[in-house]
Structure 1
Amino acid sequence: MRLLLFLFLCVPTILLAQDDLFAKEYYKNGDFEKALVEYKRLYAKSRSNISYIKQIIDIHQQLEQYKEAEDFLVKIISKTNYPAFYVTLGYNYQLQNNTEEANQNYNIAINSLLVNSNNAYAVARAFQDYSLLDQAISTYEKAMELKPQLNLKLPLAQLYGENGDIEKMMLNYIDFAEKNPVSLNNVKRALNSFINEDDNNQSNIILRKLLIKKIQQEPNVLWNELLGWLFVQQKDYGKAFAQEKAIYTRNLDGLDRIMNLGKIAEKEKEFENAKSIFNYVIDEAQDIDTKLMAFYDLFQIETKEAYASTYQDLQNKYLALFDTYGTFAQTLDLQISYAHFLAFYMNKTEEAISFLEKALKLPLNNLQTADIKLELADILVLKEEFNKALIYYTQIQRNLKNSEISQKARFKVAKASYYKGDFKWAESQLKILKSSTSQLIANDALDLKLLITDNKYEDSLQTALKRYAKADLLAFQNRNDEAITLLELILEEHKTEPIIPQALYKQGKLLEIKKQFENAANNYQQIIDNYREGILIDNAIYSLAELYLYHLNAPEKAKELYKELIFNHADSIYFIEARQKYRKLRGDAIN
């Protein structure tokens, strides 16, 4: 009985779907006569299916059977109350160059809004289907004129964009955002298709003028937010900061947005703007946690910019902060940062270790304890006391199994073993980490494993690999000049060994830190010229492109390198960023 019921209910539907597939396949292959037969058969079984009606009309038009299309449409119109079909009938006349009849039917469709303004969606959509954008725009505008509570600004904005009227498009997006603030992110995404990093780009200028005019005429933090967002796209973080301050002054609802802007500026190496932002947060924040976060980010930048002659000033800032806020769990991130600064910059390793050992006596949770031990172990590696460091790393792994910090500790165990020249043990740890839940750790583990595997068998003494590991350790210890010199020795004495591209790349990165950009570019170019089949080719292409773009004032060269990476290295981890930067340099609209 159930089988009979299933057959009765479902078999007709299955057969109809199968006929639909046949019809689509005939149409796709340009076999319009057969497609027409199939769609007429489908329509006979489902006369309310608009999709079948449209396909029948379209096929008649493909076959230039305009009279048949007209007769079919007239019959449909007489039986249905669907004004969009007048657009279809008008277009059928237009295909025959009968402009008068076409416009007459278009007007009937638009005037149907006098009876029911909600017809606007279907009528405008029909105009869009035939790329009749002016008529579609008129439809939406007339609907809102007849029924002001209708908000059709979003589809109107899209139509103006398709029609190339950028100013009206942007104005409608802005008006839509005003009435629908929750849709602001969608509006930003839409606008992002027309603006780019160039503040002289015409679309950027139009949007900026519209928003400034809005701010002057009818103040609303929404305009400040959009204007601030535009300045971020242009990487003009100072002006974006001014807008964020205006928003904060009016709302006083937290400093999270301003903190996020500071982090963006820091990531983009706009350190002066980032410092201004973090100092503002420190001055304005009412809660200690926000102040301390801003201090932490500020000190990270000041550490990057510090010279040996200014180290004492920065240390005094840390100590003054601890005098004010104490050395409690609340300031733990700053305490760890301070210990790192003492050890890696001021070479006060014993003082740093003593400071962290005191921090371990605070009432802490397991994760906070692990953070301290991780820094302690790193300082011990800095001192080349590898066995002591391994004790801390192992404790972290044991106490926080399967956590990200545990996996980070395991990677550092492997790295310490590699620094020591114990490549076999390092490999065993790296094999486990290839499946790490942290993609970053997994990638780092794979890179180090490949480095060891590709070079450990080259000679029985593993001289080149040991030298490279030593140079890597020197870089970790902030002894960059010594690392660069040792890598140069490898490049001179191991010219035929597979370690060479790795040494060139590592040295290039260290030369960048030293701001020796021309020399770094030369290293990357050597990899591109001589090691195209190696695993570092995409790294070298991307790194050289970044140097050309940001430091060597050669955007055209950067564009060509991004293009090469896109078309020849689609599996690269740099693919997405390279594609975005290439399109911006080419002047494309970026989604």
Structure 2
Amino acid sequence: MKHALIFCCILFSFVISAQTSTDQQLANLYYNNGEFEKALPYFEKILTKQSTKFDQLRYVDCLEKTNQAKDAEKFLKKLVSSNSNDFDYTIALGDLYERTERTSQTEKLYNEKIKNTTQNGYEVIELYNSFIKKGKVDWGLKTLEAGRKSLKKNYPLQIQFAEVYSLLGRTDEMIDEYFDILDQYPNYTSNIQNALTKQIDFSEDKTGVYQKLKEKLLVRIQKKPNDFVYSEMLIWLFIQKKEFKSALTQTQALDRREKGNGNRVLDLAETCVENSDYATARLAYNYVIDQGAQNPNYYSAYSALLNIRYREITIEKKFQAQDIVDAEKEYRKGLKLLGWSRNAVYTAKELAEIKAYYGNDAKGAVDLLDSCLAVPGLSDFEKSQVKMALADVLVLQDDIWQASLYYMQIDKEFKFEAIGSEAKFKNARIFYYDGDFKFAQSQLDILKESTSKLIANDAMKLSVLITDNLGLDSNYTAMYQFAQADLLLEQHQFDRAFKLYDSINAAFPAHGLADEILFRKAQAMQYQGKWQEALDYLNKIVMFHMDDILSDDAIFTIAEIYENNLQDKEKATEYYKKILFECKGSLLTVEARKRYRALRGDASASEDL
């Protein structure tokens, strides 16, 4: 009997809950459709049970929309009385007075509420937030002014004042409020920077906020030269505006005043490198180097300075034949200075890559990497990194099986780490180049589950390539020739690779490798810094192979070239947008949307979705 009674109670509560849910759905359905008379009885049912503020305010709206303003007012007054700490009800009642042309009552209501909250800083902020949420900025300001007058310095309201001045376009007062915060709380710097980032468009200073901010910072620095916080803010401001030379001038001055070791200057140099401002980065690194070898940052600055040359050649592809010669001289000088120790190995690897892939000296690169392996004190991981670079160069020399041995060693030693997965993938490519597609496929299938997303994606692409094209012709001829051409491409024998790709097109004009061949040619042009030729090949994929698997990769690569290499942001935006609207289901959609919004700058997440 007892168990039956419990069961009945549970069943009853379930029925009540289900009924409430149904009433809620119907009430909101009718409300959203503008059928307020139909919505009213359902909201009334909800209110007799357990209702939320959302339900209550929608019920009030339904009453007003069905010409029952007096009932709405009566209900709101009851809510205001029973929820004195929830200011949303008070503002809703004031809104009702405004809509029924009783402005004086609105003002009386709001002024009374402001008067009653001025003794409590928390309530002042809560009331202010409620006004701002409803777009009542002037009332928000009145709340803060009354609060400041009453509380004086007992409760800080500068953040709120800065916000409301920003909303009202009172820029000078906004900046002064932020600086008053810094005077009292220097550790609030990052909070203020975050707030300013949301309020200032650094790409286009149409309102002049940036200029005013800079001028006021310079005044504060002159008045308070020992308060480094304003110098730091000015440096941050220059960085946001991408005025890196100005930022460097201020950073060097601050470093000298602090009698620092150039740590700030090194951090700025890294930012310059990330933004491809290599000229300013060089000035920054040389500033640290000029302080002498006794500076603890001397060697790291020297290595970073050499890395700029490496990036210009290998990433930016901005070099002439003489630049390769100059780069080797600089690196040799640097290695002599750094000493042949484990600290120099990373720099030596960079030189080896330049020699092998751009200086036509693979043998010299192998000798250099062999010397790195002989350096005492290297960790197993550091040795594996050198072996990976050495194996890559051996592939370039067409010594693919010696390279395979190195890849297998790394795979075995670091089986569950990213470098092990990378080695396994590169070893699978060796077998792919040799025409052993089945073994290559078996290794790629394992790598599809790799924790490294990049390796897993590369393995998936090569696996799909083999699966889709192996067996389209009975003797595997096209696929084997394609793999051989890929090896030539890896070895930078571009002309021979292109001839082999073209022979496939000639012998098998309808083969599914056509889009892959165009993509490989585009990659070869990218590697040589021939951006327009790369675009030509990629656009052929878009024009003639839009239904094939590489179409989204081609569009995304076009966008990247325009963004990163040709500095045409408008074109880049156009192609990222093309992925969003014409490549539904692409794995590149998320990244394309992210870059599209970053380039456009004014897009909201909801708009893009």
Aligned with residue 308 of structure 1, among 301, 305, 321 = 321
What is the SS of the residue equivalent to 2:48?
A: helix
Aligned with residue 541 of structure 1, among 555, 567, 573 = 555
One-letter amino acid of the counterpart of residue 141, structure 1: E
Give the Cα–Cα distance (whole angstroms) in 2 for the partners of residues 504 and 337 of structure 1.
30
Identify the residue that residue 87 of structure 1 maps to in structure 2.
Answer: 91
Identify the residue that residue 323 of structure 1 maps to in structure 2.
Answer: 336
Report how far residue 532 of structure 1 moved. 0.8
Matched-pair contact (CA < 8 Å) for 1:468–1:487:
yes
Identify the residue that residue 520 of structure 2 maps to in structure 1.
Answer: 506
What does 1:4-43 correspond to in 2, within 5 Å?
Answer: 21=21, 24-29=24-29, 30=31, 31-42=38-49
* Residues 153, 338 of structure 1: alpha-carbon distance in 2 compared, 3 angstrom cutoff: same
Give the Cα–Cα distance (whole angstroms) in 1 for the partners of residues 603 and 234 of structure 2.
18
* Residues 74, 196 of structure 1: alpha-carbon distance in 2 compared, 3 angstrom cutoff: closer
User: What is the TM-score of this pair, normalised by structure 1?
Assistant: 0.84
Matched-pair contact (CA < 8 Å) for 1:177–1:184:
yes
Deviates most, 68-77 or 314-323: 68-77
What is the SS of the residue equivalent to 1:202?
A: coil
Give the Cα–Cα distance (whole angstroms) in 2 for the partners of residues 231 and 8 of structure 1.
70
Report how far residue 439 of structure 1 moved. 0.6
What is the SS of the residue equivalent to 1:421?
A: coil
One-letter amino acid of the counterpart of residue 219, structure 2: Q
Identify the residue that residue 356 of structure 1 maps to in structure 2.
Answer: 369
Give the Cα–Cα distance (whole angstroms) in 1 for the partners of residues 522 and 400 of structure 2.
27
Matched-pair contact (CA < 8 Å) for 2:410–2:423:
yes
Matched-pair contact (CA < 8 Å) for 2:357–2:492:
yes
Report how far residue 507 of structure 1 moved. 1.5
Matched-pair contact (CA < 8 Å) for 2:418–2:451:
yes
* Residues 368, 10 of structure 1: alpha-carbon distance in 2 compared, 3 angstrom cutoff: farther
Question: Does 2:105 align with 1:101?
Answer: yes
Question: Does 2:304 align with 1:294?
Answer: yes
* Residues 117, 23 of structure 1: alpha-carbon distance in 2 compared, 3 angstrom cutoff: farther
Report how far residue 300 of structure 1 moved. 1.7
One-letter amino acid of the counterpart of residue 279, structure 2: E
Identity %: 28
Report how far residue 435 of structure 1 moved. 0.8
Matched-pair contact (CA < 8 Å) for 1:271–1:301:
no
Give the Cα–Cα distance (whole angstroms) in 1 for the partners of residues 563 and 516 of structure 2.
23
Aligned with residue 537 of structure 2, among 498, 503, 523 = 523
Deviates most, 281-290 or 123-132: 281-290
Report how far residue 442 of structure 1 moved. 0.9
What does 1:134-153 correspond to in 2, within 5 Å?
Answer: 134-147=138-151, 148-153=153-158
* Residues 300, 281 of structure 1: alpha-carbon distance in 2 compared, 3 angstrom cutoff: farther
* 1:102-161 deviations in Å (ceiling 9; x for gaps): 112121122223444432133223323533222123212332343234333444555556
* Residues 410, 297 of structure 1: alpha-carbon distance in 2 compared, 3 angstrom cutoff: same
Matched-pair contact (CA < 8 Å) for 2:519–2:554:
yes
Give the Cα–Cα distance (whole angstroms) in 1 for the partners of residues 450 and 507 of structure 2.
36
Deviates most, 474-483 or 74-83: 74-83
* Residues 57, 574 of structure 1: alpha-carbon distance in 2 compared, 3 angstrom cutoff: same
Deviates most, 31-40 or 8-17: 8-17
* Residues 18, 543 of structure 1: alpha-carbon distance in 2 compared, 3 angstrom cutoff: same
Give the Cα–Cα distance (whole angstroms) in 2 for the partners of residues 136 and 582 of structure 1.
36
Matched-pair contact (CA < 8 Å) for 2:114–2:143:
yes
Aligned with residue 220 of structure 2, among 211, 217, 221 = 217
Deviates most, 525-534 or 73-82: 73-82
Give the Cα–Cα distance (whole angstroms) in 2 for the partners of residues 516 and 158 of structure 1.
49
Report how far residue 278 of structure 1 moved. 3.7
Matched-pair contact (CA < 8 Å) for 1:545–1:559:
yes
Give the Cα–Cα distance (whole angstroms) in 2 for the partners of residues 262 and 370 of structure 1.
29
Two-structure CA RMSD over aligned residues (Å): 4.0
Matched-pair contact (CA < 8 Å) for 1:196–1:233:
no
Give the Cα–Cα distance (whole angstroms) in 2 for the partners of residues 266 and 466 of structure 1.
42
* Residues 214, 229 of structure 1: alpha-carbon distance in 2 compared, 3 angstrom cutoff: closer
Identify the residue that residue 131 of structure 1 maps to in structure 2.
Answer: 135
Deviates most, 343-352 or 53-62: 53-62
Matched-pair contact (CA < 8 Å) for 1:265–1:273:
yes
What does 1:55-70 correspond to in 2, within 5 Å?
Answer: 57-70=60-73
One-letter amino acid of the counterpart of residue 98, structure 2: Q
* Residues 13, 215 of structure 1: alpha-carbon distance in 2 compared, 3 angstrom cutoff: farther
* 1:291-338 deviations in Å (ceiling 9; x for gaps): 354245234235444433343432232222232221112222122223
One-letter amino acid of the counterpart of residue 286, structure 1: P
* 1:514-555 deviations in Å (ceiling 9; x for gaps): 343332222121111111111211122122234445666765
What is the SS of the residue equivalent to 2:479?
A: helix
Report how far residue 196 of structure 1 moved. 5.2
Report how far residue 402 of structure 1 moved. 0.9
Deviates most, 423-432 or 485-494: 485-494
One-letter amino acid of the counterpart of residue 37, structure 1: E
Give the Cα–Cα distance (whole angstroms) in 1 for the partners of residues 394 and 189 of structure 2.
50
Question: Does 2:380 align with 1:376?
Answer: no
Report how far residue 7 of structure 1 moved. 10
Give the Cα–Cα distance (whole angstroms) in 2 for the partners of residues 482 and 402 of structure 1.
37
Identify the residue that residue 34 of structure 2 maps to in structure 1.
Answer: none
* Residues 28, 509 of structure 1: alpha-carbon distance in 2 compared, 3 angstrom cutoff: same
Identify the residue that residue 279 of structure 1 maps to in structure 2.
Answer: 286
Report how far residue 56 of structure 1 moved. 5.4
User: What is the TM-score of this pair, normalised by structure 2?
Assistant: 0.82
Question: Does 2:435 align with 1:425?
Answer: no
Bigger RCO (CA 8 Å, 6+ sep): 1
Give the Cα–Cα distance (whole angstroms) in 2 for the partners of residues 538 and 197 of structure 1.
32
One-letter amino acid of the counterpart of residue 565, structure 1: I
Identify the residue that residue 339 of structure 1 maps to in structure 2.
Answer: 352
Matched-pair contact (CA < 8 Å) for 2:556–2:579:
yes
Report how far residue 440 of structure 1 moved. 0.9
* Residues 189, 10 of structure 1: alpha-carbon distance in 2 compared, 3 angstrom cutoff: farther
One-letter amino acid of the counterpart of residue 424, structure 1: K
Aligned with residue 415 of structure 2, among 401, 422, 434 = 401
* Residues 9, 62 of structure 1: alpha-carbon distance in 2 compared, 3 angstrom cutoff: farther
- Structure 2: which 5+ runs fail to align? 32-37
* Residues 374, 129 of structure 1: alpha-carbon distance in 2 compared, 3 angstrom cutoff: closer
* Residues 536, 10 of structure 1: alpha-carbon distance in 2 compared, 3 angstrom cutoff: same
Question: Does 2:398 align with 1:391?
Answer: no
Question: Does 2:115 align with 1:111?
Answer: yes
What is the SS of the residue equivalent to 2:106?
A: helix
One-letter amino acid of the counterpart of residue 217, structure 1: R
Give the Cα–Cα distance (whole angstroms) in 1 for the partners of residues 182 and 97 of structure 2.
39
Give the Cα–Cα distance (whole angstroms) in 1 for the partners of residues 240 and 587 of structure 2.
23
* Residues 74, 422 of structure 1: alpha-carbon distance in 2 compared, 3 angstrom cutoff: closer
Report how far residue 19 of structure 1 moved. 7.4
Give the Cα–Cα distance (whole angstroms) in 2 for the partners of residues 572 and 189 of structure 1.
33
* 1:18-43 deviations in Å (ceiling 9; x for gaps): 67645643441224423442344247
Give the Cα–Cα distance (whole angstroms) in 1 for the partners of residues 499 and 170 of structure 2.
59
Give the Cα–Cα distance (whole angstroms) in 2 for the partners of residues 319 and 552 of structure 1.
32
Report how far residue 565 of structure 1 moved. 1.2
Give the Cα–Cα distance (whole angstroms) in 2 for the partners of residues 408 and 278 of structure 1.
33
Give the Cα–Cα distance (whole angstroms) in 2 for the partners of residues 13 and 137 of structure 1.
48
Give the Cα–Cα distance (whole angstroms) in 1 for the partners of residues 600 and 367 of structure 2.
55
Matched-pair contact (CA < 8 Å) for 1:26–1:34:
no
* Residues 179, 6 of structure 1: alpha-carbon distance in 2 compared, 3 angstrom cutoff: farther
* Residues 550, 392 of structure 1: alpha-carbon distance in 2 compared, 3 angstrom cutoff: closer
Question: Does 2:206 align with 1:202?
Answer: yes
* Residues 323, 186 of structure 1: alpha-carbon distance in 2 compared, 3 angstrom cutoff: same
